[in-house]
């Protein structure tokens, strides 16, 4: 049985300058049609999953109305997908109300992830965000009043125009909010986004040295305030007696991705991994809805990885985590011995100072975590 379910809500009030995820503007008719299709898709797959984690991402899921959410929660309840260990909804600070937050808590949502990105007004404008810094503080208060005790805040660094002083101030203000979890991402310049086009046009330069300094400042300051890094961009506030490699507030849904687990993806553009088969739904709400309404799977292709390719991908993603790759667990899960099949690649990473062997695992060093994508690429085979 599938243990993780991801549901994609494609609607946004405005497309952010850096965003390459599939999203579209709001329209009440299209949103109603999407909700009806999503409910039907949930029903079709109810028997496939007994989820421990459910995650609504987007887009901006909090743009859906109270009535639309009630319909979705009814479908989730009918499918048996509400009594889960971790139930996350993403949202924008501009779209969070007490009524909505209370409805979420009443229906089993126990984790909320809010896209803050920055608390600096010019940077928020540069990124194309629709919220203000004041909305962030107000929304955190609303979520606490509604009873949320597991809150994640998303931040971005190395934003064009962001100085070390601004980044330092943002970290201090965010830490004062005492969220249980922080996700801190360096800006990625994805093709076909306005920010990428600006970079290509020479509107600004990427300062790699400053980006590294921002990353180091973030890691050190968060550690000093009781947050443990368990993945390159993810930190959880934890008690002193918790395991260093996986704090209690770590995002279990994402850990399933990073360790090569299977998952069900529903909604437009959602990806899934079922019984060794990878698939993606149509990245088009109309095509998605048409397929569902015609009782067809809304698939836009898929692939079945061979065992070596699947093991390679699992190894590459696991390296993103501070605990790295558990050698015995990896062999049990994939049938491959990491230190045998990837002996040359592991040696290269160690010689470069990017990785180390430690206590039955292979993990990246602090320097290596800064280049986790490149390190993971070394392990891809098949």
What is the per-residue pLDDT across 232-289, written as a single tens digit (0 to 9) for each?
999 999 876 666 567 999 999 999 999 889 999 999 999 999 888 899 999 999 999 9
Of 237, 258, 279, the last residue of a domain is 258
Distance CA 44, CA 47 (A): 8
pLDDT at 28 over 80: no
* Cα distance between residue 321 and residue 332, in whole Å: 19
Q: What is the CATH number of the domain that holds 61?
A: 3.20.20.70
Q: Is residue 313 part of a domain?
A: no
204 confidence band (pLDDT: 50, 70, 90) = confident
In a domain, 247, yes or no: yes
Of 166-170, 248-252, 369-373, the one with minimum mean pLDDT is 369-373
The reply to whether 154 and 31 lie within a common domain is yes
In a domain, 147, yes or no: yes
pLDDT of residue 29: 87
Mean pLDDT of 35-63: 96
Task: Summarize the confidence of residues 168-175 as an average pLDDT.
Answer: 98
Question: In terms of domains, do 201 and 345 share one?
Answer: no
Does residue 27 sit in the same domain as residue 130?
yes
Same domain, 46 and 186: yes
Alpha carbon distance 280, 262 (integer Å): 14
Co-location of 247 and 358 in the same domain: no
Backbone φ and ψ for 356, nearest 5 degrees, come out as: -155, 155
Mean pLDDT value across the chain: 92
Please state the separation of Cα 159 from the chain's center in Å. 19
Q: Domain containing 350: what range? A: 324-377
Phi-psi region for residue 72, left (φ > 0), alpha (ψ -120 to 50) or beta?
Answer: alpha
With 80 as the cut, is the pLDDT of residue 105 above it?
yes
For the segment 186-193, the average pLDDT, to the nearest whole number, is 81
The rounded distance, in Å, linking the Cα atoms of 204 and 51 is: 44
Tell me if 46 is assigned to some domain. Answer: yes
Contacts 24+ apart (CB under 8 A), 174-178: 174/116, 174/119, 175/221, 175/222, 175/225, 177/137, 177/140, 177/153, 178/237
| pLDDT at residue 336, rounded to an integer | 95
Helix (H, G, I), strand (E, B) or coil at 154: strand
Lowest average pLDDT, out of 41-45, 204-208, 229-233, goes to: 204-208
Confidence bin at 22 (pLDDT 50/70/90): low
Residue that finishes a domain, picked among 258, 290, 305: 258
Q: What end-to-end distance do the CA atoms of the chain give, in Å?
A: 27
Report whether pLDDT(15) > 70.
Answer: no
For residues 123, 124, 125, 128, the Cα torsion angle rounded to the nearest 10 degrees is 120
pLDDT of residue 321: 95
Taking Cα atoms as reference points, which of 267, 215, 338, 225 lies closest to residue 55? Answer: 267
Within this chain, do residues 226 and 367 fall inside the same structural domain, yes or no?
A: no
240 and 344 both lie in a single domain: no
17-26, 130-139, 200-209, 347-356: least confident range: 17-26
- Rounded Cα distance between 125 and 63, Å, is 20
Is position 299 within any domain? Answer: no
pLDDT of residue 243: 61
| Residue 312 belongs to a domain | no
What own/partner pairs with CB < 8 Å and gap ≥ 24 does 171-176 have? 171/217, 171/218, 171/221, 171/222, 172/221, 173/119, 174/116, 174/119, 175/221, 175/222, 175/225
Strand partners, 107: none
For residue 176, tell me if it sits in a domain.
yes
Task: Tell the residue number behind the tokens 């399933």, with chain if given.
Answer: 256
The phi, psi pair for 346, rounded to 5°, reads -65, -40
Name the more confident of 59 and 204.
Answer: 59
Q: Report the percent of the chain where pLDDT is more than 90.
A: 78
Domain count, the chain: 2
- What is the full DSSP assignment across 163-204? -HHHHHHHHHHHHHTT-SEEEEEE----TTSHHHHHHHTTS-
Given a cut of 60, is residue 17 above it in pLDDT?
A: no
CB atoms within 10 A of CB 325: 25
User: What is the spatial distance between Cα 290 and Cα 30, in angstroms, rounded to a whole number?
Assistant: 12
Instruction: State whether 240 and 343 are in the same domain.
Output: no
Residue 37, H or E segment? helix 28-45
Band of pLDDT at residue 305, cut at 50, 70 and 90: confident
């Amino acid at each position: 049985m599938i243990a993780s379910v991801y549901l994609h809500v494609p609607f946004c009030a405005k497309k952010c300058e850096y965003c390459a995820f599939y999203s579209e503007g709001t329209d009440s008719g299209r949103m109603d049609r999407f909700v009806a299709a999503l409910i039907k898709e949930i029903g079709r797959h109810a028997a496939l999953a007994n989820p421990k984690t459910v995650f609504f991402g987007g887009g901006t899921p909090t743009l859906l109305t109270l009535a639309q959410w009630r319909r979705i929660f009814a479908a989730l309840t009918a499918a048996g997908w509400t009594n889960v260990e971790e139930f996350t909804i993403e949202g924008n600070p501009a779209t969070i109300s007490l009524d909505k937050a209370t409805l979420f808590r009443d229906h089993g949502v126990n984790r909320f992830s809010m896209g803050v990105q920055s608390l600096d007004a010019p940077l928020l404008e540069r990124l194309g965000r629709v919220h203000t810094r004041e909305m962030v503080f107000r929304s955190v208060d609303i979520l606490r009043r509604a009873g949320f005790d597991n809150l994640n805040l998303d931040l971005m660094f190395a934003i064009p125009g962001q100085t070390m002083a601004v980044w330092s101030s943002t970290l201090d203000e965010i830490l004062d909010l005492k969220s249980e979890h922080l996700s801190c991402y360096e800006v990625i310049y994805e093709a076909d986004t306005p920010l990428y086009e600006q970079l290509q046009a020479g509107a600004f330069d990427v300062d790699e040295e400053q980006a590294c300094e921002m990353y180091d400042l973030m890691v050190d300051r968060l550690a000093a305030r009781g947050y443990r890094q368990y993945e390159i961009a993810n930190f959880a506030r934890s008690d002193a007696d918790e395991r260093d490699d996986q704090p209690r507030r770590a995002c279990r849904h994402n850990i399933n991705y990073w360790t090569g687990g299977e998952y069900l993806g529903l909604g437009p553009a959602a990806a899934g991994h079922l019984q060794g088969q990878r698939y993606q739904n149509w990245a088009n709400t109309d095509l998605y809805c048409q397929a569902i309404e015609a009782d067809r799977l809304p698939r836009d292709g898929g692939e079945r990885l061979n065992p070596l390719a699947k093991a390679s991908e699992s190894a590459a993603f696991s390296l993103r985590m501070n605990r790295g790759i558990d050698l015995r667990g990896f062999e049990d899960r994939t049938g491959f011995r990491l230190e045998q099949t990837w002996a040359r690649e592991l040696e290269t990473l160690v010689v470069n100072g990017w990785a180390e062997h430690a206590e039955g695992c292979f993990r990246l060093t602090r320097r290596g975590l800064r280049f986790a994508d490149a390190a993971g690429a070394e392990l891809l085979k098949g």
